[in-house]
Amino acid sequence: MKIEVWSDYVCPFCYIGKRTLEQALVRSGYESQAEITFKAYELDAQAPVDSDRLAYEHLAEKMGQSLERAKEMTAQVAQQAKAFDLHYDVENMPHANTFSAHRLVKWAETQDGEQQLTELLMHHYFEKAHNISNTEVLLSIVEKAGLDRERAAEVLGSDQFQGEVERDIQEAGQIGVQGVPFFVVNRKYAISGAQPLEAFIEALEQIGEEEGMRPALKPIGKAKTSFCTGDSCEGE
Q: Please provide the average confidence, as pLDDT, over all residues in the chain.
A: 94
Q: Which CATH superfamily is domain 2-211 in?
A: Glutaredoxin (3.40.30.10)
- Sequence spans of domains, the chain: 2-211
> What is the per-residue pLDDT across 25-46, written as a single tens digit (0 to 9) for each?
999 999 999 999 999 999 999 9
What are the pLDDT digits (tens) for 187-201?
999 999 999 999 999
From the list 52, 19, 48, the residue with the least C-alpha distance to 129 is 52
Length of the chain: 236
pLDDT over 80 (residue 234)? no
Assess contact for 107 and 160: CB atoms under 8 A. Answer: yes
Other C-beta atoms closer than 10 Å to the C-beta of 20 total: 25
- What pLDDT shows up at residue 235? 66
Q: Are 182 and 172 in contact (CB under 8 A)?
A: yes
Cross-sheet strand order for the sheet of 35-40: 35-40, 2-7, 182-185, 189-192
